[in-house]
Every structure is written in structure tokens, then in C-alpha cells.
Amino acid sequence: MAEQLLKVRGLKIEGRSDETWNQIVNGVDFELKKGEVIGLIGESGAGKSTVGLAAMGFTRDGCRISAGEVEFDGINLVNASAKVKRELLGKRIAYVAQSAAASFNPAHRLIDQHTEAPVQHGVMSKAESEADGMELYRKLRLPDPENIGFRYPHQVSGGQLQRAMTAMAMSTRPDLIIFDEPTTALDVTTQIEVLASIREIVEEFDTAAIYITHDLAVVAQMADKIKVLLKGDEVEEADTRTMLSDPKEDYTKSLWAVRSFQRPQKPYVQTGQTPVVSVSNVTAAYGKVPVLHDVSFDIHAGRTVAVVGESGSGKSTTARCITGLLPPKQGHIEFDGEALPLDYRKRNKMQLRQAQMIYQMADTALNPRKTIGELIGRPVQFYMGLTGKEKRKRVDSLLEEIELEPSVYYNRLPSELSGGQKQRIGIARALAAEPKFIICDEVTSALDQLVAEGILKLLAKLQDELGLSYMFITHDLATVKSIADEVVVMKDGRVVEQGPKDDMFKPPHHPYTDLLLSSVPEMDPDWLTNLLKERGVDNIGDAAVGKM
Amino acid sequence: MASILRIIAQRLALGIVTLFVVSIVIFAAVNLLPGDFAQLILGQGATPEAVEAIRQDLGLDQPPITRYFQWLAGAVQGDLGNSFAQANFASFAGTDVGTGQGSVAAQIAPRFENTMFLAGVTAVIAVPISITLGVLAALYRNSAFDRTANILTLSSISSPEFFLAYILILFLAVLNPILPSLSNIYDGMELSDRFIKTLLPALTLTLVVTAHMMRMTRAAIINLLASPYIEMARLKGISPMRVIVKHALPNALAPIINVIALNLAYLITGVVVVEVVFVYPGIGQLFVDSVKIRDIPVVQACCLIFAAAYILLNLTADILSIISNPRLRHPK
């Protein structure tokens, strides 16, 4: 048996809030052999990233390792000096961050950042490292590997940056890499390429890795063994196949079972019915850059239309056109059969009231200085003209509607709420205008799966009670499956396919829909390998398939 | 690159418009000053005829709008007019128009040169010191060094300039006669001599401007230390000094450049007190003297130069901030 490279024993980490230290990781143990990959999985707040960083002997400001050992190749990183750690970091232990776009320094070229660690640690000369970088870029199938390094981070796409960051982590051929949610910010189709690249290069250089993610299906493709964390506690650890086929703990089982929520397909809309919202032949542009081309679809009363597509496909722009924030260049938008003025400034209060919006980041969509009562009370007063006691009554009933106790939450500030609760406030604020139609822009993508499911259930309940119509913007096909009645697939500002949900998930598909659907990771650990084989050696490369 | 040139052209045009507006404000303000030159120079016993004659002579009897456009037309052509104080009134026979000593340009030019020299020497000393101190304070933030640097620069900026000047004179000229306490510089001096004579006022001004620049450097850098790319650099095992200088500083340049520009503008326009203390013949003294004797053309010209200095330095700062942003330097 190969020797253990990393031993983490009884690791406890404390975080400081309000001048006191609270334990946030309550004793985690694991071991890693050379070339082995462990997946750390859990919801946000589970302490995955904290544990991942602690495995490098690093804690963020306001955190400290309070007990336990992190032994890397015989060196205890917990009490090692800063100098000893600096010798190891970037040389023998490397890190790949969640958002490559934020983790590359905007002021320097990719290759200069790539060569920094090898040169500073004296592993290679600058010229050697540059040549090696290009070789790694080629291995990771970045386009134009000789020149892409001479670009600045903002000149390269997100998926490419994530691969460049993996290349950077490989620059000194470390023994251990920590991957911290490296594909979470990417579209499904891009995610596959990055996953395949990471897996291939980790195998080629026999690098050990800690792979942190909240996505079970992803970790199933990447890890040899999986450890489940919950609020800083270990839940269980097992090798990947055992974990997937036979989870022991209830919490793990609930994670596996999430996404079971699914609404039945409603009967098809009868022809001749006037849609609540009708988008016809809309073409729009930001300045001179065209973003939407001839987009048309209808949304009927009490229905949910999911608009899916990758980032940049024009989903949110379509929403901006409907709300009048971005007046379309051509085409028109009808509400209940009546044409709406294209610019929101020309719409009357009634027209504005009828269409409301819920945003992706509840954090930034709520004014942090207003209490919940003020946040919801404002549209109640503005649109419905209620004041005083009546207003309070209405806000209370809205809070009850979103399943938050009015007496508890009325005077709270957004910062005192959890992510899911904030999103509920966003929903209540939209409901306050008593609209017929709500645009939900990626409302669940910033939330954990269990919380997201709660939000989806709430939206479904409200739809049944109030007969609301939703336009549901998302890139997540699982969400589409659970809530949509009709689906509109967008790509590059065009609608490529639309129809009832059941039809969309059954072949034959438009080739792009097919690509989207087949790119959603599945729980099967062989899924990625099989998919890559299926898609053929051409776009993945012989070496990759051979290795996998 | 083309977009940067366009931005520069736009800013430049905007600067010219601003200058034009400022010229109106200057003219209006100067004309609101109580009293007039003729009254002042002839004293209380002047006959109304004599006063009127001088007023006519200088064109002060014209309506303000006419005078403004005459002045503006001259200024645009580079002719800032003639100083009242230097005019020859003995004969009431008119001034020696546009020649030699009498022109405002001839009066201001050597003074302005001196001011620029002092500002230049101060900037060469103060800017590197401030940025270095700011970087070190950010590196050793919340340490004794950081606190000491903060307290010292804050106390120096909070003290009146003349006080700082006298302290420096006391220690560097009186107790330890290293530097001359009088900065009586003149034309045709050796550069080294001139530099030594300028050093004390320059050091005084350094004490005045360092705090802003240092604190902005420190704050701008610390502001970035929580960003993911700084964490990434640390996780690459890069030394703390290199993290700050290579990774934080290039991204913190824009605010630092702006504060430097503001302080340089101050060095050109606001150093009257220091000039007086060291008897340094700069433009600030000339300005104050001219206000005292209502030498309107000189006052207006000085104001215009001050405004232009502010506009030009801020313009330069804007352009440098834009250039320091790689997104604008290297578009997609």
C-alpha cells in the first residue's frame, strides 16, 4: 500500500463572530494517498472550503485551527512556521479556486501568473515554465495554447480560465491539489470539458486531490472516495461506489433523494386562449451589440414557462425586454392581449404592477438598511395605496403566505435572515403588487439543494392558490424538470426549441437541447467516461479516453 | 488603444470647457473685490479727475462684459494683459503696451517657474516616500510601525504649515545649521545651489502632503487584500511583500493616482504660507500681493493658471487611471 501523503486528524476550526470564537469544524479526519482523490461534499456552511484550505495549513482571516493535525508528507502544517508553509504552498500543494475569473489577478497576463510559483520557488526558470505552461494549456485543450497565455484574464472565457487555473496549479507538478468547487460557476456544457480536463491531468501526473463540491453527480465522476460534511461535522466516508449505492446515514440519503420534487405535466394549453404574456419577434441590442434575435413565445395563465440556456444566451435580456428595462429594437410585447409600451417609463402603474420580478441574488436585491416590514410594505403602499393598519395587515398576510412568522420577522433586517429566507422575502415583495405574472431570474441557483427545493415548492403552491404565471429563467435542467409546464431553449439570443415539458425531455431533440440534456451530470460514476466515449474521441482527445 | 485616445480627446475638450466657465467665475469674482486700483494707488487725497484719468487709461471705465471679452480674447492669444502696478502713470500718457516689464506674462513667468521647481522637488521627495510608507503600512497593518506612521503623518497634516516650517528651521537651520533658512533664489543660480535653498520649503510641504497619499495607498491596498486573487497569490506561497507590490498595488493605482494629482495641484496653488515663511519667490506671494493692490490682470492670470493646473493634473490622473486598468488597455 502506498504511503499516506496527507493525514488530517481531529481537525477543529473556529471562526470569530461578535468577538467570540465559535467552532465551525468539529473534528474531521481523513487520509489521502499519493494519486488519490477524495471528494468533500455538503451544503453551504458545511465547512468544506474551510477544511480544504486547512489541508494547506491556511485559514481565512477570522478563522483559526483550534485543534488537530494536518500532516503533509511528515510535516505538521498546523504549527509549521509561515516560511515553511510558503515553501510548500504553490510548490508541493496547489489550489484551484471556485471562481477563476476572480482568482486571477486582473493586472497580469495569464502566463506571468502561471510562471510565478515555479520561478519564485526556484523550480524552473521563467522560460522553462512558459514553455511548460503552453504544454499544459495544450494538454488541457485550451484553444491556441501558444498564445492564450499572453492574454489578460478578462480576455478569456470562464471555462477557459478555469482550465488555465488548473494548469497554473500544475505548474510546479505538486503532490496535492485542492479543487474548491472548480466548476460550480460554469455552464453544464463547459463543466464537462473542465471536468474531463481535470480528471485527465490529475491521472497523468498522479496527483492527489481534494475535490470540494456540493454537486453529488460531479463528485461521483471525480473522486475515489467521498466524505460527507454537515455543519462542520463528519457524516460519513466511503469509497465512491459504495457511497452512491449504499449510503448509511439518513442525511446522506436525503441528499441523494433531493430533487424528487416534480410537478405533473398540466394539460396542454387549448388553442385560441389569450396568453397572459406574449413576446413576439423581439429583437434587442445593448448599444450596437445585438443580443436577441426574433424571440417569440407565449406564457399562459397559471403556467410556468422555463427559459433555459447557457450564460450569454439572452435569457435575462428577454426578461429585461418584458419588464421594459431594455426596450426592444423590434417586435412587441402583449399583456392579456393588449400591447404594452416597450419602455417601462411609458407604462402606467397598472401595467407595471401586473409584472413583477424575483432576482437571483436575494442578498443584493434587498436594501440592507430596510426592515422586512418596510421592504414588503413599500410596494403594498405604492401599488395598492394601503397605509397604517391596513398596510401592516397586508404585510403580515404576505409573510404568512411565504411561511415566515410575521411577529418574528416584521422588524428584522435582511442580514439577520438566511439565504432561503431572503429569497422568500423577495417573493413576498413581488406578491405585494398582486401581479398576474412573475419573472423568476435564477431564483434558486444561489441556494443549497434542500433550500432550493423549499422555494420551488412555495412557488408552486402560490401558483395553485393565486393562478400566477411564471417565467422561470434557469440554467439548471433539474429545476426545469421539477417546476416547468413549458420550456423555451435559448442559444446565442435565439429560441432554438420550445414546447411542453414532457415533449422536451423525450427525444427527438434539437441537437443543442440534446447537448444540454446529456451534459447534466448523473449520479453514475461511469457517466462521464461513457459520455466522453459516446461523444467520440474527436473533441476530447485520444489520451483522455485511453486514460479514463 | 483607439478608445483610449478618444477618451483622452473627450476629457481634454471637457477640460477646455471647464476652463472657459472658470474664466467667467474668475472675472466675476475679481470684479466683485471692493475698491479699485486707481483709488488705491492715488490715496485718499486724489482728485476725482486724476482717478478718472487712470481708470480711463487702464480701461476700467468700460462695461464689465466688454472688459471680459477683451481679456478673454487676449488670453486665448497668449496675451494676459499688462500689470497695473508696473504701468507708468507719471505722464498719464498711456502704458508701454505689451513690452518688457509691464506685461503680466513677464511678471508671472519667473515666479511660476520657481513654483514649479518647488512643487517638482517636493513631489520627487514626497510621492516615493508616501507610496513606500503606504505599502509598508499595508504590509505591517495594525503593527506598531503602521500606527506610528499614521500618527506622525496625521499630526503633520493637522499642524499649521508655518508651525511645521518653524520647527524645521529650528532643527535644520538654527540648532544644526545644515540648510539655509532663507530661500532667496534668483535667476542664473547654480542648479545645485538652487536645490539646496529649496530644500527646506520642500521638506515642509512634504510633511503636509504625505499623509493623504500614504493613507490612500494603505487603504487602497488593504481594500484589495480580501479579494480572491490575493488569497490565490498567498496560496501560491508568494512572500507577503511580493503579494502587496506585485498583486495588490497594480490594482490599487487608480485611487492613489487621483490623490497624488490633488496633492500636486495643491503644491502649485496653495503654498503661500510656506513661500512667505521662507521668502521663496513663488507665484503664491505674487498672487497675494496683487490682490492687495488690486492689480487685476495679474490676479486674473494667476487664477487662470491655478485653474488650469487643477484641470490638467486631474485630467492626467484620469488618463493614468484609465491606462492602469488592463480592461481598457487590452480590450477583448
Please say if the pLDDT value at position A539 is more than 80. Answer: no
Are A241 and A304 contained in the same domain? no
Give percent of chain A above pLDDT 90: 28
CB under 8 Å to A318, separation ≥6 — which residues? Answer: A279, A282, A292, A295, A307, A473, A490
Domain spans in chain B, listed from the N-terminal domain onward:
1-93+293-332, 113-292
Nearest to A117 among B228, B236, B247 (CB): B236
**Do residues A382 and A239 share a domain?**
no
Residues of chain B with pLDDT under 70: 1, 86-101, 332
Same domain, A338 and A428: yes
User: Angle at CA A102, nearest 5°, toward A96 and A108?
Assistant: 95
C-alpha–C-alpha distance, residues B241 and B247, integer Å: 10
H or E element in which residue A17 lies: strand A4-17
Which amino acid is located at A142 in the chain? L
- In terms of domains, do A244 and A338 share one? no
A-B Cβ pairs (cutoff 8 Å, strict): 78
Q: Do A103 and B327 touch (CB under 8 A)?
A: no
Contact A56 B235 (CB under 8 A): yes
Extended strands (E) in A123-246 = 176-180, 208-213, 225-230, 233-239
Interchain pair B226, A85: CB under 8 A: no
Instruction: Mark yes or no for CB contact A155/B332 under 8 Å.
Output: yes
Question: Does A240 lie in the same domain as A313?
Answer: no
Cβ-defined contact of B231 to A103 (cutoff 8 Å): yes
pLDDT at B87: 65
Within this chain, do residues A465 and A340 fall inside the same structural domain, yes or no? yes
Q: Nearest-CA neighbor of A239 among A230, A228, A249, A231?
A: A228
Nearest residue in chain B measured CA to CA from A157: B332
Residue B37 is predicted with a pLDDT of 76
**Same domain for A500 and A429:** yes
Residue B67 has a pLDDT of 86
Cβ A97–B232 below 8 Å, yes or no?
yes
**pLDDT value for A543:** 36
Q: Under an 8 A CB cutoff, do A89 and B229 touch?
A: no
Which single residue is written with the C-alpha cell 411609458? A346
Dihedral (Cα; A471, A475, A480, A486), 10-degree rounding: 50
What's the per-residue H, E or C state across chain B? CHHHHHHHHHHHHHHHHHHHHHHHHHHHHHHHCCCCHHHHHHCCCCCHHHHHHHHHHHCCCCCHHHHHHHHHHHHHCCCCCECCCCCCCCCCCCCCCCCHHHEHHHHHHHHHHHHHHHHHHHHHHHHHHHHHHHHHHHHCCCCHHHHHHHHHHHHHHHCCHHHHHHHHHHHHHHHCCCCCCCCCCCCCCCHHHHHHHHHHHHHHHHHHHHHHHHHHHHHHHHHHCCCHHHHHHHHCCCCHHHHHHHHHHHHHHHHHHHHHHHHHHHHHHCCHHHHHHHCCCCHHHHHHHHHHCCCHHHHHHHHHHHHHHHHHHHHHHHHHHHHCCHHHHCCC
Pick the residue from chain A with its C-alpha nearest to B252.
A107
Res. A259 pLDDT band, cuts 50 70 90: low
Of A102, A116, A121, which is closest to B228 when you measure between CB atoms?
A: A102
In the three-class reduction of DSSP (H, G, I as helix; E, B as strand; rest coil), residue A456 is classed as: helix
Q: Which residues contact A114 (CB under 8 A, 6 or more apart)?
A: A129, A130, A133, A149, A164, A167, A168, A171
Please check whether residues A352 and A445 belong to one and the same domain: yes
Q: Which residue from B231, B236, B251 is facing A106, i.e. has the nearest CB? A: B251
The predicted pLDDT at position B99 comes to 46
User: Smallest CA–CA separation between A45 and chain B, in Å?
Assistant: 19
Consecutive H or E run containing A130: helix A126-139
Distance of CA A172 to the CA centre of its chain: 29
Alpha carbon distance A468, A461 (integer Å): 10
Chain B residues interacting with chain A (CB cutoff of 8 angstroms): 226-229, 231-239, 242, 246-247, 250-251, 326-327, 330, 332
The three-state secondary structure class of A323 is helix
8 A C-beta contact, residue A194 and residue A137: no
Q: Are residues A316 and A424 in the same domain?
A: yes
* Closest C-alpha to A443, from A454, A435, A452, A432: A452
The nearest CA of chain B is from the CA of A401 a distance in Å of 39
8 Å CB contact between B122 and B202: yes
Q: Nearest Cβ partner of A121 from B237, B246, B332?
A: B237
- Residue B103 distance to chain A (closest CA, Å): 50
Do A345 and A249 fall into the same domain? no
Contact B267, B205 (CB under 8 A): yes
Contacts of A473 (CB under 8 A, 6+ apart): A306, A307, A315, A316, A318, A319, A439, A440, A441, A442
pLDDT in tens, A174-210: 999 999 988 877 788 888 888 888 888 888 888 999 9
What nine digits make up the cell of B96? 508701454
Q: Strands A277-286, A93-96: parallel, antiparallel or unpaired by DSSP?
A: unpaired
- Sole residue written with cell 480544504: A52
Here the CATH number for the domain that contains residue A498 is 3.40.50.300
Tally of domains in chain A: 2
Residue whose cell numbers read 484620469: B318
Is B326 within 8 Å of A107 when comparing Cβ atoms? yes
The answer to whether position A273 is within a domain reads no
DSSP string, A37-48: EEEEE--TTSSH
Residues in chain A within 8 Å Cβ distance of B238: 86, 90, 116-117, 120
- Please list, in sequence order, all residues whose beta carbon lies within 8 angstroms of the beta carbon of residue A143, skipping any fewer than 6 positions away: A160
- Whether residue A275 contacts residue A311, with contact meaning beta carbons closer than 8 Å, is answered with no
Q: In degrees rounded to 5, what are phi and psi of residue A221?
A: -80, -25
Range of weakest confidence among A12-21, A467-476, A500-509: A500-509
pLDDT at position B82: 81
In a shared domain, residues A238 and A325: no
Which helix H or strand E contains A4, and what residues bound it? Answer: strand A4-17
Q: Closest to A90 (Cβ–Cβ): which among B237, B246, B326? A: B237
Q: Pairing state of beta strands A437-441 and A289-299?
A: unpaired
Percent of chain A with pLDDT over 70: 95
Which class does domain B113-292 fall in?
mainly alpha
Distance from CA of B218 to the nearest CA of A (A): 18
For residue B16, give how far its alpha carbon lies from the nearest alpha carbon of chain A (Å): 28
- Cβ of A94 within 8 Å of Cβ of B236? The answer is yes
A431 lies in some domain: yes
Q: In Å, how far is A90's CA from the nearest CA of chain B?
A: 4
Q: Is residue A288 in a domain?
A: no
Instruction: Indicate the Cα dihedral angle B66, B71, B74, B75, nearest 10°.
Output: -140
Nearest CA in chain B to A54: B235
Q: Which residues of A touch B231 (CB under 8 A)?
A: 60, 97, 103
pLDDT of amino acid A127: 93
Give the tens place of pLDDT for each residue, B127-184: 999 999 999 999 998 899 999 999 999 999 899 999 999 999 999 999 988 888 888 8
Which of A81, A55, A49 has its CA nearest to residue A68? A55
> Model confidence over A378-395: pLDDT tens digits?
999 999 988 889 999 999
Q: Let me know: does A493 contact A314? Beta carbons within 8 Å.
A: yes
- The verdict on ipTM greater than 0.85 is no
Of A88, A106, A108, the CB nearest to B237: A88
The pair phi, psi for residue B70, each rounded to 5°, is -60, -45
A85 to chain B: nearest residue by CA?
B237
pLDDT of B170 reads 93
pLDDT digits (tens, 9 = 90+) for A338-363: 888 988 889 898 889 999 999 888 88
Q: Which of A56, A88, A102 sits opposite B227 (nearest CB)?
A: A102
Q: How far is B137 from chain A (nearest CA, A)?
A: 18
Q: Mutate one of B221, B224, B232 to test the A interface: name it (highest A CB count within 10 A).
A: B232
Q: What one-character-per-residue DSSP string does A176-199 give?
A: EEEEESTTTTS-HHHHHHHHHHHH
CA distance B306 to B321: 22
Q: DSSP secondary structure string, A360-407?
A: S-HHHHS-TTS-HHHHHHHHHHHHH---HHHHHHHHHHHHHHTT--HH
Q: Name the minimum distance, in Å, from the CA of B150 to any CA of chain A.
A: 23
Q: How far is CA A227 from CA A40, A46, A230, A526, in A?
A: 5, 12, 10, 19
The two counts, helices (H) then strands (E), for chain A are 23, 20
The amino acid sitting at B23 is S
* Mean pLDDT on A158-182: 89
Spell A518-528 as b/e; 16+ CB within 10 A means b.
bbbbeeebebb
Segment A27-56 shows an average pLDDT of 87
Nearest to A5 by CA among A176, A174, A237, A206: A176
B229/chain A closest Cα distance in angstroms = 4
Which residues in chain B touch residue A86, judged by CB atoms under 8 angstroms apart?
237-239
Test B228 with A152 for CB contact under 8 angstroms. no
What is the structure's pLDDT at A159?
82
| Residue A47, pLDDT score | 83
- For residue A532, the SS3 value is helix
Which residues of B are less than 8 Å from A99 in CB distance? 228
d(CA B214, CA B260): 10
Q: Which domain holds residue A29?
A: 1-35+46-81+232-255
Give SS3 for A520. coil
Going from the C-alpha of A62 to that of each of A95, A229, A473, the distances in angstroms are: 20, 21, 37
Residue A258 — pLDDT band, cuts 50, 70, 90? Answer: low
What is the distance between the alpha carbons of residues B158 and B172, in angstroms, rounded to a whole number?
21
Interface contact flag, B238 A87, Cβ < 8 Å? no
Cβ of B228 within 8 Å of Cβ of A99? The answer is yes
How far apart are the CA of B120 and the nearest CA of chain A, in angstroms?
Answer: 29
Asked if A85's CB is within 8 angstroms of B228's CB, the reply is no
CB contact under 8 A, B226 and A61: yes
Residue A544 lies in a domain: no
**Residues 6 or more apart in contact with residue A349 via CB below 8 angstroms:** A383
A379 CB contacts (<8 Å, ≥6 apart)?
A: A429, A432, A433
C-alpha grid cell for residue A490?
435559448
For residue A98, give the chain B residue with the closest CA: B228
- pLDDT at residue A28 above 60? yes
- Numbered residues of chain A with Cβ closer than 8 Å to any chain B Cβ: 53, 56, 58, 60-61, 85-91, 94-95, 97, 99, 102-108, 116-117, 120-121, 151-152, 154-155
- Mean pLDDT throughout A456-475? 90
Tell me if B130 sits within 8 A of B214, measured CB to CB. Answer: yes
Residue A239 lies in a domain: yes
Nearest CA in chain A to B253: A107
CB A512, CB A489: distance < 8 Å: yes
Asked if A121 and B251 come within 8 Å (Cβ–Cβ), the reply is no
- The closest CB to that of A91, out of B234, B237, B330, belongs to B237
Q: What is the DSSP letter of A267?
A: P
What residues does A492 pair with on adjacent strands? none
CA–CA gap between residue A168 and residue B233 (Å, rounded):
11
Cell numbers for B193, please give them. Answer: 545651489
Mutate to test the interface with B, among A63, A75, A103 (most CBs of B within 10 A): A103
- Give the number of other CB atoms < 10 A from CB of residue A263: 17
pLDDT exceeds cutoff 60 at A2:
no
